[in-house]
Structure 1
Amino acid sequence: MCARVMLAEDDRRQAEALRRYLTAEGHEATVVHDGEEALRAARQQTFDLLLLDVMLPGLDGMQVCRILRQESDVLMLMLTARSSEDDLLRGLDVGADDYMTKPFSPRELVARVRTLLRRVPATARHPPVLRVGRLTVDEPRHTVTAGGVPVDCTAGEFAILAAMIRQPGRVFTRGQLLEHTRGIDRESTGRTIDVHVMNLRRKIEANPRRPRQLLTVYGVGYKLTAGTP
Protein backbone atom coordinates (compact mmCIF):
# COMPACT_ATOMS: atom_id res chain seq x y z
CA MET A 1 0.00 0.00 0.00
CA CYS A 2 1.82 3.09 -1.24
CA ALA A 3 1.30 6.29 0.74
CA ARG A 4 2.67 9.79 1.15
CA VAL A 5 4.41 9.94 4.52
CA MET A 6 6.03 12.82 6.39
CA LEU A 7 8.69 11.88 8.93
CA ALA A 8 9.54 14.55 11.51
CA GLU A 9 12.70 13.42 13.28
CA ASP A 10 15.59 15.61 14.47
CA ASP A 11 18.10 12.74 14.59
CA ARG A 12 19.28 12.95 10.98
CA ARG A 13 20.94 9.54 10.87
CA GLN A 14 17.86 7.82 12.21
CA ALA A 15 15.63 9.86 9.91
CA GLU A 16 17.62 8.79 6.86
CA ALA A 17 17.52 5.13 7.89
CA LEU A 18 13.76 5.26 8.37
CA ARG A 19 13.31 7.14 5.10
CA ARG A 20 15.11 4.38 3.23
CA TYR A 21 12.92 1.69 4.74
CA LEU A 22 9.75 3.62 3.97
CA THR A 23 10.89 4.20 0.39
CA ALA A 24 11.78 0.53 -0.03
CA GLU A 25 8.23 -0.29 1.09
CA GLY A 26 6.95 1.83 -1.79
CA HIS A 27 6.03 4.95 0.18
CA GLU A 28 6.84 8.52 -0.82
CA ALA A 29 8.69 9.86 2.24
CA THR A 30 9.33 13.50 3.09
CA VAL A 31 11.74 14.17 5.98
CA VAL A 32 11.77 17.30 8.18
CA HIS A 33 13.84 17.99 11.29
CA ASP A 34 11.96 20.45 13.51
CA GLY A 35 8.41 21.23 14.58
CA GLU A 36 7.86 24.40 12.58
CA GLU A 37 9.12 22.72 9.43
CA ALA A 38 6.75 19.81 10.10
CA LEU A 39 3.81 22.15 10.56
CA ARG A 40 4.62 24.07 7.41
CA ALA A 41 5.06 20.92 5.30
CA ALA A 42 1.82 19.38 6.57
CA ARG A 43 -0.09 22.51 5.62
CA GLN A 44 1.49 22.95 2.21
CA GLN A 45 1.41 19.32 1.05
CA THR A 46 -1.02 16.42 1.27
CA PHE A 47 0.11 13.40 3.30
CA ASP A 48 -1.54 10.11 4.20
CA LEU A 49 0.41 9.73 7.44
CA LEU A 50 2.58 11.88 9.70
CA LEU A 51 5.32 10.33 11.85
CA LEU A 52 6.09 12.82 14.62
CA ASP A 53 8.95 12.54 17.06
CA VAL A 54 7.82 13.96 20.39
CA MET A 55 11.14 15.67 21.16
CA LEU A 56 11.36 17.91 18.08
CA PRO A 57 13.18 21.24 18.48
CA GLY A 58 11.06 24.38 18.36
CA LEU A 59 7.50 23.11 18.43
CA ASP A 60 7.56 19.62 19.90
CA GLY A 61 5.67 16.72 18.35
CA MET A 62 2.77 17.05 20.81
CA GLN A 63 2.25 20.69 19.87
CA VAL A 64 2.42 19.91 16.16
CA CYS A 65 -0.10 17.10 16.60
CA ARG A 66 -2.49 19.28 18.62
CA ILE A 67 -2.42 22.11 16.07
CA LEU A 68 -2.82 19.88 13.03
CA ARG A 69 -5.59 17.81 14.59
CA GLN A 70 -7.71 20.97 14.67
CA GLU A 71 -7.21 21.29 10.92
CA SER A 72 -7.05 17.77 9.52
CA ASP A 73 -7.99 14.12 10.03
CA VAL A 74 -4.63 12.92 8.68
CA LEU A 75 -3.24 9.83 10.41
CA MET A 76 -0.56 10.69 13.00
CA LEU A 77 1.83 8.29 14.69
CA MET A 78 3.89 9.64 17.61
CA LEU A 79 7.46 8.43 18.09
CA THR A 80 8.51 8.82 21.71
CA ALA A 81 11.34 7.90 24.05
CA ARG A 82 8.96 8.44 26.96
CA SER A 83 7.37 5.20 28.06
CA SER A 84 5.26 6.27 31.04
CA GLU A 85 1.51 5.75 30.75
CA ASP A 86 0.85 9.46 31.34
CA ASP A 87 3.08 10.47 28.43
CA LEU A 88 1.49 7.95 26.10
CA LEU A 89 -2.03 8.96 27.08
CA ARG A 90 -1.13 12.62 26.56
CA GLY A 91 -0.14 11.82 22.99
CA LEU A 92 -3.49 10.18 22.34
CA ASP A 93 -5.31 13.04 24.05
CA VAL A 94 -3.87 15.64 21.65
CA GLY A 95 -5.09 13.63 18.67
CA ALA A 96 -2.47 11.02 17.78
CA ASP A 97 -3.81 7.81 16.23
CA ASP A 98 -1.07 5.63 17.65
CA TYR A 99 2.40 5.76 19.22
CA MET A 100 5.66 3.82 19.21
CA THR A 101 8.17 3.86 22.05
CA LYS A 102 11.85 4.13 21.21
CA PRO A 103 14.03 2.26 20.58
CA PHE A 104 12.40 0.41 17.70
CA SER A 105 13.71 -1.06 14.48
CA PRO A 106 12.90 0.40 11.07
CA ARG A 107 11.13 -2.86 10.23
CA GLU A 108 8.87 -2.43 13.27
CA LEU A 109 7.99 1.09 12.17
CA VAL A 110 7.21 0.03 8.61
CA ALA A 111 4.95 -2.73 9.95
CA ARG A 112 3.11 -0.24 12.17
CA VAL A 113 2.72 2.16 9.24
CA ARG A 114 1.23 -0.66 7.18
CA THR A 115 -1.25 -1.44 9.95
CA LEU A 116 -2.29 2.20 10.35
CA LEU A 117 -2.83 2.72 6.64
CA ARG A 118 -5.10 -0.32 6.48
CA ARG A 119 -7.47 1.42 8.91
CA VAL A 120 -8.35 4.14 6.43
CA PRO A 121 -9.04 3.37 2.75
CA ALA A 122 -6.97 5.46 0.33
CA THR A 123 -10.15 7.01 -1.07
CA ALA A 124 -11.09 8.35 2.36
CA ARG A 125 -7.76 9.82 3.43
CA HIS A 126 -8.02 13.17 1.71
CA PRO A 127 -10.58 15.84 2.55
CA PRO A 128 -13.15 16.65 -0.12
CA VAL A 129 -13.33 19.96 -1.87
CA LEU A 130 -15.09 22.33 0.54
CA ARG A 131 -17.69 24.84 -0.62
CA VAL A 132 -19.47 27.64 1.21
CA GLY A 133 -21.58 29.98 -0.89
CA ARG A 134 -19.57 31.09 -3.91
CA LEU A 135 -16.28 30.09 -2.26
CA THR A 136 -14.46 26.80 -2.92
CA VAL A 137 -11.32 25.53 -1.18
CA ASP A 138 -9.51 22.45 -2.44
CA GLU A 139 -7.00 21.61 0.29
CA PRO A 140 -5.14 18.75 -1.43
CA ARG A 141 -4.48 20.97 -4.46
CA HIS A 142 -4.09 24.11 -2.35
CA THR A 143 -6.46 26.10 -4.57
CA VAL A 144 -9.24 28.62 -3.95
CA THR A 145 -11.96 29.90 -6.26
CA ALA A 146 -14.59 32.58 -5.70
CA GLY A 147 -17.55 32.41 -8.04
CA GLY A 148 -15.55 30.04 -10.23
CA VAL A 149 -12.64 32.48 -10.55
CA PRO A 150 -9.23 31.28 -9.26
CA VAL A 151 -7.93 33.21 -6.24
CA ASP A 152 -4.22 33.53 -5.54
CA CYS A 153 -3.70 33.24 -1.76
CA THR A 154 -0.57 33.45 0.36
CA ALA A 155 0.17 30.52 2.69
CA GLY A 156 -1.16 32.48 5.67
CA GLU A 157 -4.35 33.49 3.87
CA PHE A 158 -4.94 29.93 2.72
CA ALA A 159 -4.46 28.56 6.26
CA ILE A 160 -7.06 30.98 7.62
CA LEU A 161 -9.55 30.30 4.85
CA ALA A 162 -9.14 26.53 5.07
CA ALA A 163 -9.71 26.60 8.83
CA MET A 164 -12.83 28.73 8.54
CA ILE A 165 -14.44 26.90 5.63
CA ARG A 166 -14.32 23.64 7.59
CA GLN A 167 -16.66 25.19 10.16
CA PRO A 168 -18.85 27.75 8.37
CA GLY A 169 -20.67 30.08 10.73
CA ARG A 170 -18.26 29.48 13.61
CA VAL A 171 -16.72 32.60 15.11
CA PHE A 172 -12.92 32.40 15.29
CA THR A 173 -10.99 34.68 17.62
CA ARG A 174 -7.76 36.21 16.39
CA GLY A 175 -5.89 33.94 18.79
CA GLN A 176 -7.49 30.83 17.28
CA LEU A 177 -6.63 31.96 13.76
CA LEU A 178 -3.06 32.65 14.90
CA GLU A 179 -2.78 28.97 15.82
CA HIS A 180 -3.61 28.06 12.23
CA THR A 181 -0.90 30.35 10.84
CA ARG A 182 1.74 29.30 13.33
CA GLY A 183 4.83 28.11 11.50
CA ILE A 184 3.84 30.10 8.40
CA ASP A 185 3.96 33.68 9.68
CA ARG A 186 6.78 33.64 12.22
CA GLU A 187 5.99 37.10 13.61
CA SER A 188 2.20 36.76 13.53
CA THR A 189 0.10 38.95 15.81
CA GLY A 190 -3.57 39.81 16.03
CA ARG A 191 -2.85 42.65 13.65
CA THR A 192 -1.38 40.17 11.14
CA ILE A 193 -4.69 38.29 11.17
CA ASP A 194 -6.57 41.53 10.50
CA VAL A 195 -4.33 42.20 7.48
CA HIS A 196 -4.86 38.68 6.15
CA VAL A 197 -8.62 39.07 6.47
CA MET A 198 -8.54 42.45 4.75
CA ASN A 199 -6.52 40.97 1.87
CA LEU A 200 -8.82 37.95 1.61
CA ARG A 201 -11.84 40.22 1.34
CA ARG A 202 -10.23 42.00 -1.58
CA LYS A 203 -9.82 38.65 -3.29
CA ILE A 204 -13.06 36.80 -2.52
CA GLU A 205 -15.71 39.47 -1.93
CA ALA A 206 -17.59 41.22 -4.75
CA ASN A 207 -17.45 44.39 -2.63
CA PRO A 208 -14.66 44.22 0.00
CA ARG A 209 -16.07 47.25 1.79
CA ARG A 210 -19.36 45.43 2.29
CA PRO A 211 -18.33 41.81 2.83
CA ARG A 212 -21.04 39.18 2.65
CA GLN A 213 -19.02 36.05 3.42
CA LEU A 214 -15.97 36.89 5.54
CA LEU A 215 -17.62 38.82 8.34
CA THR A 216 -16.39 40.65 11.41
CA VAL A 217 -17.95 39.76 14.75
CA TYR A 218 -17.14 42.90 16.69
CA GLY A 219 -15.22 42.38 19.88
CA VAL A 220 -14.68 38.69 19.11
CA GLY A 221 -13.17 37.89 15.71
CA TYR A 222 -14.32 36.65 12.30
CA LYS A 223 -16.61 34.08 10.72
CA LEU A 224 -17.20 32.69 7.23
CA THR A 225 -20.77 32.35 5.97
CA ALA A 226 -22.52 31.40 2.75
CA GLY A 227 -23.28 35.08 2.20
CA THR A 228 -26.49 36.84 1.29
CA PRO A 229 -28.03 37.12 -2.20
Structure 2
Amino acid sequence: MAKILLIDDDVELTGMLTEYLTQEGFDMVAIHEGEAGKQEALSGSYDLVVLDVMLPGMKGIEVLNRIRLDSQIPVLMLTAKGDDVDRIVGLESGADDYVPKPCTPRELVARIRAILRRLESSQHPDDKIVEGALTLWPKQRKAEWQGQQLDLTSSEFSLLEVLAVNAGAIVGKKELSEKGLGRPLARFDRSIDVHLSSIRQKLGNLPEGRSCILTVRGKGYLFVKV
Protein backbone atom coordinates (compact mmCIF):
# COMPACT_ATOMS: atom_id res chain seq x y z
CA MET A 1 0.00 0.00 0.00
CA ALA A 2 1.57 3.29 -1.12
CA LYS A 3 1.64 6.03 1.51
CA ILE A 4 0.66 9.45 0.16
CA LEU A 5 1.12 12.84 1.84
CA LEU A 6 -1.43 15.48 0.80
CA ILE A 7 -0.48 19.10 1.59
CA ASP A 8 -3.40 21.45 0.96
CA ASP A 9 -5.11 24.08 3.11
CA ASP A 10 -8.59 23.35 1.70
CA VAL A 11 -9.95 21.18 4.50
CA GLU A 12 -13.11 20.17 2.63
CA LEU A 13 -11.17 19.19 -0.49
CA THR A 14 -8.50 17.26 1.40
CA GLY A 15 -11.21 15.40 3.30
CA MET A 16 -12.91 14.38 0.07
CA LEU A 17 -9.63 13.41 -1.64
CA THR A 18 -8.38 11.53 1.40
CA GLU A 19 -11.57 9.50 1.58
CA TYR A 20 -11.51 8.70 -2.14
CA LEU A 21 -7.81 7.78 -2.27
CA THR A 22 -8.17 5.63 0.84
CA GLN A 23 -10.95 3.71 -0.91
CA GLU A 24 -8.55 3.29 -3.86
CA GLY A 25 -6.07 1.54 -1.61
CA PHE A 26 -3.71 4.36 -0.61
CA ASP A 27 -2.55 5.10 2.93
CA MET A 28 -3.34 8.82 3.25
CA VAL A 29 -2.10 11.61 5.53
CA ALA A 30 -3.28 15.22 5.05
CA ILE A 31 -1.55 18.36 6.32
CA HIS A 32 -2.89 21.88 5.84
CA GLU A 33 0.22 24.04 6.27
CA GLY A 34 3.45 24.35 4.30
CA GLU A 35 6.15 24.21 6.97
CA ALA A 36 4.60 21.19 8.69
CA GLY A 37 4.05 19.57 5.30
CA LYS A 38 7.67 20.05 4.33
CA GLN A 39 8.90 18.46 7.56
CA GLU A 40 6.55 15.53 7.12
CA ALA A 41 7.59 15.05 3.47
CA LEU A 42 11.22 14.77 4.57
CA SER A 43 10.44 12.17 7.24
CA GLY A 44 11.10 9.30 4.82
CA SER A 45 7.69 7.79 5.55
CA TYR A 46 5.99 8.50 2.21
CA ASP A 47 6.06 7.23 -1.36
CA LEU A 48 4.68 10.41 -2.96
CA VAL A 49 3.62 13.96 -2.05
CA VAL A 50 0.60 15.79 -3.48
CA LEU A 51 1.29 19.49 -2.96
CA ASP A 52 -0.96 22.49 -3.54
CA VAL A 53 0.71 25.59 -5.01
CA MET A 54 -1.43 28.01 -3.00
CA LEU A 55 -0.74 27.53 0.70
CA PRO A 56 -0.86 29.93 3.66
CA GLY A 57 2.50 30.91 5.10
CA MET A 58 5.12 28.94 3.17
CA LYS A 59 3.88 28.73 -0.43
CA GLY A 60 3.78 25.45 -2.32
CA ILE A 61 6.74 26.31 -4.58
CA GLU A 62 8.88 27.16 -1.57
CA VAL A 63 7.84 23.90 0.10
CA LEU A 64 8.88 22.06 -3.06
CA ASN A 65 12.23 23.87 -3.23
CA ARG A 66 12.98 22.91 0.36
CA ILE A 67 11.97 19.30 -0.20
CA ARG A 68 14.28 19.13 -3.21
CA LEU A 69 17.26 20.29 -1.14
CA ASP A 70 17.19 16.95 0.69
CA SER A 71 14.93 14.53 -1.17
CA GLN A 72 13.91 13.29 -4.61
CA ILE A 73 10.56 11.94 -3.38
CA PRO A 74 8.00 12.21 -6.22
CA VAL A 75 5.93 15.39 -5.94
CA LEU A 76 2.66 15.98 -7.79
CA MET A 77 1.60 19.63 -7.79
CA LEU A 78 -1.99 20.89 -7.65
CA THR A 79 -2.12 24.12 -9.68
CA ALA A 80 -4.77 26.68 -10.57
CA LYS A 81 -6.62 25.81 -13.75
CA GLY A 82 -5.13 27.67 -16.70
CA ASP A 83 -2.18 29.05 -14.73
CA ASP A 84 0.76 28.06 -16.91
CA VAL A 85 3.19 30.09 -14.80
CA ASP A 86 2.57 27.98 -11.68
CA ARG A 87 2.88 24.79 -13.70
CA ILE A 88 6.16 25.75 -15.34
CA VAL A 89 7.68 27.11 -12.13
CA GLY A 90 6.63 23.93 -10.33
CA LEU A 91 8.20 21.70 -12.96
CA GLU A 92 11.36 23.81 -13.03
CA SER A 93 11.56 23.48 -9.25
CA GLY A 94 11.50 19.70 -9.49
CA ALA A 95 7.85 18.65 -9.51
CA ASP A 96 7.27 15.35 -11.28
CA ASP A 97 3.87 16.29 -12.66
CA TYR A 98 0.90 18.55 -12.03
CA VAL A 99 -2.89 18.38 -11.98
CA PRO A 100 -4.94 21.58 -12.46
CA LYS A 101 -7.61 22.38 -9.87
CA PRO A 102 -10.45 21.77 -9.70
CA CYS A 103 -9.59 18.17 -10.51
CA THR A 104 -11.56 14.97 -10.22
CA PRO A 105 -10.33 12.42 -7.68
CA ARG A 106 -10.22 9.90 -10.52
CA GLU A 107 -7.75 12.02 -12.51
CA LEU A 108 -5.58 12.53 -9.44
CA VAL A 109 -5.48 8.80 -8.78
CA ALA A 110 -4.51 8.14 -12.40
CA ARG A 111 -1.60 10.59 -12.19
CA ILE A 112 -0.41 9.19 -8.86
CA ARG A 113 -0.49 5.64 -10.19
CA ALA A 114 1.39 6.67 -13.33
CA ILE A 115 4.22 8.10 -11.22
CA LEU A 116 4.32 5.08 -8.90
CA ARG A 117 4.36 2.69 -11.86
CA ARG A 118 7.45 4.42 -13.19
CA LEU A 119 9.18 3.84 -9.90
CA GLU A 120 8.31 0.15 -9.89
CA SER A 121 9.04 -0.72 -13.49
CA SER A 122 11.59 -0.08 -16.18
CA GLN A 123 12.27 -1.05 -19.75
CA HIS A 124 15.50 -2.64 -18.52
CA PRO A 125 14.93 -3.42 -14.84
CA ASP A 126 17.99 -5.64 -14.35
CA ASP A 127 20.47 -4.04 -16.72
CA LYS A 128 22.90 -1.17 -16.56
CA ILE A 129 22.45 1.25 -19.45
CA VAL A 130 25.66 2.89 -20.66
CA GLU A 131 25.60 5.53 -23.37
CA GLY A 132 28.79 7.54 -23.66
CA ALA A 133 29.37 9.40 -20.39
CA LEU A 134 25.91 8.45 -19.11
CA THR A 135 25.27 5.39 -16.95
CA LEU A 136 21.81 4.46 -15.69
CA TRP A 137 20.80 1.77 -13.22
CA PRO A 138 17.00 1.60 -13.78
CA LYS A 139 16.28 -0.81 -10.95
CA GLN A 140 17.95 1.49 -8.41
CA ARG A 141 16.81 4.65 -10.23
CA LYS A 142 20.44 5.77 -10.10
CA ALA A 143 22.22 7.87 -12.72
CA GLU A 144 25.79 9.03 -13.30
CA TRP A 145 27.22 11.46 -15.83
CA GLN A 146 30.98 11.48 -16.37
CA GLY A 147 31.36 9.46 -13.19
CA GLN A 148 29.40 11.92 -11.05
CA GLN A 149 26.01 11.10 -9.55
CA LEU A 150 23.02 12.92 -11.03
CA ASP A 151 20.20 14.11 -8.78
CA LEU A 152 17.16 13.49 -10.99
CA THR A 153 13.48 13.55 -10.17
CA SER A 154 11.45 10.46 -10.98
CA SER A 155 10.14 12.04 -14.19
CA GLU A 156 13.58 13.26 -15.26
CA PHE A 157 15.06 9.79 -14.77
CA SER A 158 12.31 8.13 -16.78
CA LEU A 159 12.57 10.60 -19.67
CA LEU A 160 16.36 10.31 -19.76
CA GLU A 161 16.09 6.52 -19.74
CA VAL A 162 13.77 6.56 -22.78
CA LEU A 163 16.17 8.85 -24.65
CA ALA A 164 19.27 6.83 -23.68
CA VAL A 165 17.70 3.53 -24.75
CA ASN A 166 16.97 5.16 -28.12
CA ALA A 167 20.29 7.02 -28.38
CA GLY A 168 20.97 8.25 -31.92
CA ALA A 169 17.28 8.11 -32.86
CA ILE A 170 14.62 10.80 -32.63
CA VAL A 171 11.98 10.16 -29.97
CA GLY A 172 8.71 12.02 -30.45
CA LYS A 173 7.01 13.90 -27.64
CA LYS A 174 4.04 11.52 -27.81
CA GLU A 175 6.28 8.52 -27.12
CA LEU A 176 8.21 10.40 -24.44
CA SER A 177 5.00 11.31 -22.65
CA GLU A 178 3.61 7.78 -22.79
CA LYS A 179 6.82 5.99 -21.80
CA GLY A 180 8.47 8.65 -19.65
CA LEU A 181 5.52 10.29 -17.91
CA GLY A 182 3.11 7.36 -18.09
CA ARG A 183 0.29 9.33 -19.70
CA PRO A 184 -0.89 10.47 -23.14
CA LEU A 185 0.50 13.74 -24.43
CA ALA A 186 -1.95 16.55 -23.71
CA ARG A 187 -2.43 19.47 -26.06
CA PHE A 188 -0.28 22.49 -25.13
CA ASP A 189 1.44 20.46 -22.39
CA ARG A 190 4.97 21.78 -21.87
CA SER A 191 5.96 19.33 -19.14
CA ILE A 192 8.42 17.42 -21.32
CA ASP A 193 10.13 20.58 -22.54
CA VAL A 194 10.60 21.82 -18.97
CA HIS A 195 11.84 18.46 -17.69
CA LEU A 196 14.34 18.13 -20.54
CA SER A 197 15.59 21.67 -19.99
CA SER A 198 16.34 20.72 -16.39
CA ILE A 199 18.07 17.50 -17.49
CA ARG A 200 20.24 19.46 -19.93
CA GLN A 201 21.33 21.81 -17.18
CA LYS A 202 22.27 18.90 -14.92
CA LEU A 203 24.23 17.12 -17.68
CA GLY A 204 26.01 20.19 -19.04
CA ASN A 205 27.51 20.18 -22.53
CA LEU A 206 29.63 17.73 -24.46
CA PRO A 207 33.35 18.62 -24.93
CA GLU A 208 32.60 20.34 -28.25
CA GLY A 209 30.11 22.61 -26.50
CA ARG A 210 26.78 21.21 -27.69
CA SER A 211 24.11 19.58 -25.56
CA CYS A 212 23.86 15.79 -25.55
CA ILE A 213 20.08 16.15 -25.93
CA LEU A 214 19.09 17.81 -29.20
CA THR A 215 15.71 19.25 -30.11
CA VAL A 216 14.63 18.19 -33.60
CA ARG A 217 12.07 20.78 -34.56
CA GLY A 218 8.63 19.32 -35.25
CA LYS A 219 9.78 15.76 -34.51
CA GLY A 220 11.03 15.37 -30.97
CA TYR A 221 14.31 14.89 -29.12
CA LEU A 222 17.52 12.96 -29.73
CA PHE A 223 20.17 11.78 -27.28
CA VAL A 224 23.49 12.15 -29.08
CA LYS A 225 25.18 8.79 -29.56
CA VAL A 226 28.92 9.09 -28.97
The CA distance in 1 between the partners of 2:10 and 2:37, in whole Å, is 14
1:40 equivalenced with 2:3 (yes/no) = no
Closer/same/farther in 2, CA of residues 21 and 124 from structure 1, 3 Å limit: farther
1:41 positional shift: 1.0
Aligned-pair CA distance for 1:115: 1.0
Aligned length: 124
1:65 alignment counterpart: 64
Q: Please say which of residues 78-87 and 19-28 is displaced more in the overlay.
A: 78-87
Map 1:209-220 → 2, pairs under 5 A: none
Spell out, residue by residue over 1:98-150, the C-alpha distance to the aligned partner (whole angstroms, 9 max, x if none): 0011111111111111111111128858xxxxxxxxxxxxxxxxxxxxxxxxx
Output the TM-score relative to the length of structure 1: 0.51
Please give the residue correspondences for 1:1-229 in structure 2 after superposition, counting only pairs within 5 Å. 2-121=1-120
Structure 1 residues 149-187: Cα deviation after superposition (integer angstroms, max 9, x where no partner): xxxxxxxxxxxxxxxxxxxxxxxxxxxxxxxxxxxxxxx
CA contact (8 A) 1:51 1:78 kept: yes
Q: Tell me how far apart the structure 2 counterparts of residues 84 and 13 of structure 1 sit (CA, whole Å).
A: 22
Query: 2:85 is matched by which residue type in structure 1?
Result: D
Structure 1 residue 84 displacement after superposition: 2.9
Q: Find the aligned partners of 1:17 and 1:124 in 2 and give their Cα distance.
A: 35
Q: Unpaired runs of 5+ in structure 1?
A: 126-229
**CA distances 1:186-216 after superposition (whole Å, capped 9, x unpaired):** xxxxxxxxxxxxxxxxxxxxxxxxxxxxxxx
Q: Secondary structure at the match of 2:28?
A: strand
- 1:85 and 1:105 map into 2 onto residues whose CA distance is 19
The aligned amino acid for 2:43 is Q
**Structure label with greater radius of gyration:** 1
CA distance, structure 2, for counterparts of residue 84 and residue 21 of structure 1: 26
Kept in 2: contact 1:19–1:31 (CA 8 A): yes
Percent identical residues: 44
Match of 1:46, SS state, is coil
Kindly state the Cα deviation for residue 83 of structure 1 after the two structures are TM-superposed: 2.3
Distance across 1 between alignment mates of 2:5 and 2:95 = 14
Paired residue for 2:152?
none
Contact persistence 1:82–1:88 (CA under 8 A): no
Distance 1:79 1:21 in 2: 16
- Structure 1 distance, partners of 2:76, 2:47, is 11
1:10/1:32 contact within 8 Å kept: yes
C-alpha distance after superposition, 1:64-84 (max 9, x if no partner): 111111211100000011523
TM-score, normalised via structure 2 length: 0.52
Moved over 6 A (4+): none
SS at 2:42 equivalent:
helix
Q: Which runs of 5+ in 2 are unaligned?
A: 122-138, 142-226
